[in-house]
Amino acid sequence: MNNNNSTFRAALDTTNLAISALLEQIGQLRTGDAVELINELDLDDQVTLFRSISTEQAVLFLDQPELHYADQIIDSLDNGRAAEILNGMSADRATDIFHDLDWPSRNRLFSVLSPETKTALKKLMGYPADTAGGLMTTEFIAVPSTWTVEQTLAHIRQVERSRETVYAIYVENPETRILQHVVSLRRLITANPQAGIAEVGRDQEPLTIPPMMDQEEVARLFRKHDLLAIPVVDEQHHLIGIVTVDDVLDAMTEETSEDAYKFGGMEAFTKPYMQISFFEMLRKRGGWLCILFLSEMLTASAMQHFEVELEKAIVLALFIPLIMSSGGNSGSQATSLLIRALALQDLKLGDWWRVALREIPTGLALGSMLGLIGFVRIAIWQKTGLYDYGEHWVLIGITIAVALIGIVLFGSLSGSMLPFVLQRLGLDPASASAPFVATLVDVMGLVIYFSVAVIFLTGTLL
């Protein structure tokens, strides 16, 4: 018993020393670097760390979207400690954490929050996460249009620590609470202190967005107008929140990751790779693999249909991998280009025919280029004795060249049209994953290949 107690005390002392050393190290790092260091710890050590650091430090770290296990850390702390941290956090980040908690944990923590935090969470959690309302924060600076510049500056000094940003001041009608102007901090500082705040604001109507606007459209506006923040207003033009550029960047990073997963042929993961459980990995990767495998079975069916041709001219089988990969590659290229163009709104749904007219000559040119390379390769192998394709090697070369033209053309055309079809059906164009396009082109590529072979080789090899 004494030995067990001694071992436990020794382990506890070691843990305390490690935490003390970690606290000292974190205190010397920038916030982003400290978060990276914390992410290297397992969950239990992270919880121990957050129990040891000050509330101000905990708020600083948990306000960073890059911090792993944020929801589990909050859930593991006692109610009082968790409430202190959540009350000090930015409203939009606290909302993100609440979205990740299960319902029992939400109810438990919500009951101990401050009235201000409760009000902010109720408002923000009422909007989908991928909309302007889901991205916005309620921590902004708004003043009545009757104030002077001096009054506004004094107000900023009082509340700046509790606001997301002070670079823009929103001027409202004191009676109707309707947004009238947006004043930059630069204009405010350089203005006459006795001037009315309404006089400092620009004459043009401020750029605003509705709370249900999709986050991709919000990002497009930020990029188009070089914004740092944009006000979110309701139908009566009342200011209900602002979206800041850092939140847009975080959302676009998440959106890009989701599209990358889809384009790779799997469901999107919301956790870092090392935090994904074995069964979640199987569930999100296995479903797509099964769908793609079943689709690839059509390739076997296509080959079975041309079984007689393969038996007569076994040499045709040598070029099947070449044919299939070229069509799949051209289709994947076209799909990548179109998904990107649609995401940036360089193209709209009605532009599909313009894209088709552009991809047809492009596919023909690319196919001709590959076809020429394929024919030259067969000629070199034949003439140098590296492989004997037989007396009809010229016809085989022509078959490969013409087949490549047709397959690359089909790949380019189908790969470019599929994102339009998905968008027309209300689906994410990124769902036109490279494996899916490659599977489609594989099947049709074999049909094109053997059809061309029948045309050129009937009476000789066939």
Mean pLDDT for the stretch of residues 112-120: 90
Round to whole Å and give the CA distance between 25 and 49.
Answer: 12
Tokens in use for 424?
Answer: 């027309």
What average pLDDT score do residues 222-236 get? Answer: 90
Residues 438 and 306 in one domain: yes
28-58 pLDDT tens trace = 888 888 888 888 888 888 888 898 888 999 9
Question: Using 50, 70 and 90 to split pLDDT, how confident is the model at 14?
Answer: very low
Q: Given 244, 266, 293, which residue is the final one in a domain?
A: 244
Among 76, 99, 125, where does a domain finish? 125
Residues 314 and 378 in one domain: yes
**Residue partners of 123: CB distance under 8 A and separation at least 6:** 138, 240, 241
Q: What's the Cα-to-Cα distance from 330 to each of 291, 309, 336, 368, rounded to whole Å? A: 22, 26, 10, 13
Question: At 369, is the pLDDT very low, low, confident or very high (cuts 50, 70, 90)?
Answer: very high
How far CA 40 is from CA of 60, 83, 310, 396, in Å, comes to: 18, 25, 56, 58
Domain boundary among 125, 150, 171: 125
Q: Would residue 254 count as lying in a domain?
A: no
Could you tell me if 41 and 111 lie in one domain?
yes
Question: Is residue 256 assigned to a domain?
Answer: no
pLDDT, mean over the chain: 83
Q: Is the dihedral of CA 30, 91, 260, 268 positive or negative?
A: positive
The CATH number of the domain where 221 resides is what?
3.10.580.10
Q: Decide if 260 is inside a domain.
A: no
Residue 251 lies in a domain: no
What are the helix and strand counts (H, E) for the chain? 21, 5
pLDDT of residue 8 exceeding 60, the answer is no
Coil/strand/helix, residue 182? strand
The answer to the question of residue 255 being in a domain is: no
Q: Distance between CA atoms of 82 and 73, rounded to whole angstroms? A: 9
Same domain, 397 and 349: yes
Question: Does 39 or 208 have the greater pLDDT score?
Answer: 208
User: How confident is the model over 250-286, as pLDDT tens digits?
Assistant: 888 777 766 666 666 566 666 666 667 777 777 777 7
- One-letter amino acid at 410 equals F
Specify the CATH number for the domain of residue 334. 1.10.357.20
Together in a domain, 190 and 312: no
Contacts of residue 229, defined as CB under 8 A and 6 or more positions apart, other chains included, come to 140, 165, 167, 168, 242, 243, 244, 245
228 plus 318 within the same structural domain: no
β-pairing verdict for 168-172 and 179-184: antiparallel
Same domain, 427 and 309: yes
> Of 307, 360, 333, whose CA–CA distance to 419 is shortest?
333
DSSP character string of 134-159? HH-BS--EEEETT-BHHHHHHHHHHH
Q: Which residue segment(s) compose the domain that 108 sits in? A: 4-125
| Mean pLDDT along residues 400-419 | 92
Residue 299 tokens read as: 């390739």
Q: Say whether both 303 and 451 belong to one domain.
A: yes
State how far the Cα of 51 lies from the Cα of 55, in Å rounded to an integer: 9
Query: Using one digit for the tens of pLDDT, what is the confidence trace for 316-361?
Result: 888 888 888 888 888 888 888 888 788 777 888 889 999 999 999 9
Say yes or no: 10 and 116 in one domain.
yes
Number of domains in the chain: 3
Confidence category of residue 202, pLDDT binned at 50, 70, 90: low
Residue 11 lies in a domain: yes
**Does any domain span residue 257?**
no
| Predicted model pTM | 0.64
Query: 230 near 264, Cβ under 8 Å?
Result: no
User: Does residue 266 form part of some domain?
Assistant: no
288 and 372 co-located in one domain: yes
Quick one: 167 and 99 in the same domain? no
**Shared domain check, 230 and 302:** no
- Cα 352 to Cα 21: distance, rounded to the nearest angstrom: 60
Calculate the dihedral angle through the C-alpha atoms of 2, 51, 27, 22, rounding to the nearest 10 degrees: 30
